[in-house]
Amino acid sequence: MRALIAALLFATNLLAAPVVIRAPRVIDGRGRLLQNAAVVVDGGKIVAIDEHPTRADIDLKDATLMPGGVDTHVHIAWHFDADGRSHDDETDRNETPAESALFAAENAYRTVMGGITTVQSLGAPIDKPLRDAIARGTLPGPRILTAIDPLYDEKLSVAELRTQVDKAADEGADVIKVFASQSIRTGGGPTMSQEQMDTICAEAKARGLRVAVHAHGPESVKRAVLAGCTSIEHGALIGQPELDLMAAHGTYFDPNTDLVFRNYFENKSHFLGIGSYTAEGFAAMENAVPRVLDVFQKGLKTKGLKIVFGTDAVAGAHGRNFQELEYRVRTGGQNPMDAITSATSLSAESLGLGNRIGTLAPGYDADLIAVAGDPLKDIGALEHVVLVMKGGQIFKR
């Protein structure tokens, strides 16, 4: 609470006059690096990129200026409760709605202060009021897109699934989340049939919504891609044929390569004994780590495959989001500029926001961060965020 209050007091109002932010390095989010340039912000928007600035209202010295991070897969409300146990939307323990809301707000604060200015939360009912409060400017946090209530029951008929999609749309969901396979902890086998996936994706498209699909194995990924889904989340058990299929259909791939696993292992005692978080479940996750890395590295070599940035951040991982990108570069071998592009303009595009965020260019929302040092030389610089601006509002400087 002290951190939240401090943030509310510190965050500025929308800047009243054009502000020039100069940096020795400016990464535009689309693969371009400018030296000794400035971004001009006015009224919450970027109005110019000045490649030869003569003045600066904010001089970032030796920092790198870039778009705010866009994490396409988080669970913003998932937290460790007062007893130190993992608490998600389905956990039935003694916690009031007000307490749950405050935990979610704290996660949002940690996330934006860590340099992530937009997230897609996949999802829980509490996401909606949190999304709306942040959008009102009431709370410091990232822009939130939410699935509100995921679809997971494979026993439902196609008519019932269509009704669920309509219900989510009517309640204000930004995206439909579907569980098309089991968890990796229970084998990752397919659950939803081709007919069910076809129905869900067609109805979502009719309602103007994207579809993000939890799918681990070849069959569940194939069904989701052929149904016309927007993104595949995880894909831990797939091979080259499924990667090629996603590339051919323009399906975004969010592999969640590291942070989700490492966070579970580091906080094992907080999860163990809850649902599928058993000794066997943890063993399955440990076995999945090298497979996920292999899939990611194959994906990097797959022509036309659009790999976005998502962490699957749950309790314990909020605010650490960029650690996922560090792993992809240091261990996965991804080019640093490509990694940054994936976490900015490409992820924004996958959320249908490619013309608003994720790029430093005139007309875009002023979602900017600065990191100490040069992330193109040392990707670890992303963990040293020295400036956060969202929509022209400064939250960290």
Helix, strand, coil percentages, rounded to 5, for the chain: 35, 25, 40
Per-domain residue ranges of the chain = 2-67+358-396, 69-350
**Pairing of β 393-396 and β 385-390:** antiparallel
Q: What confidence score (pLDDT) does residue 81 get?
A: 86
Q: pTM to 2 decimals?
A: 0.94
> Between 3.20.20.140, 3.30.365.10, 3.40.50.150, 2.160.10.10, what CATH number should domain 69-350 receive?
3.20.20.140
79-80 and 306-307: which strand pairing?
unpaired
Tokens of 343: 């976490």
Q: Taking the CB of residue 348, how many other CB atoms lie within 10 A of it?
A: 26
Q: What's the Cα-to-Cα distance from 57 to each of 13, 28, 188, rounded to whole Å?
A: 16, 20, 52
What's the pLDDT tens digit per position in 309-368? Answer: 999 999 999 999 999 999 999 999 999 999 999 999 999 999 999 999 999 999 999 999
* Res 12: pLDDT: 46
Element (DSSP H or E) covering residue 35: strand 33-42
**Dist CA 387 CA 303 (whole Å):** 35
CATH code that applies to domain 2-67+358-396: 2.30.40.10
Please tell me the distance from the alpha carbon of residue 270 to that of residue 208, in angstroms, as a whole number: 39
Distance CA 256, CA 285 (A): 12
For residue 95, the model assigns a pLDDT of 84
Sign of CA dihedral 166, 171, 352, 177: negative
The mean per-residue pLDDT over the stretch 190-203 comes to: 98
Is a pLDDT exceeding 70 seen at residue 307? yes
Task: Write the DSSP symbol of residue 230.
Answer: S
Residue 91 confidence (pLDDT) above 90? no
Structure tokens that stand for 322 in this block: 């960029």
- Cβ neighbourhood burial of 94 (10 Å; 0-12, 13-18, 19+): exposed
- What is the predicted pLDDT for the residue at 97? 86
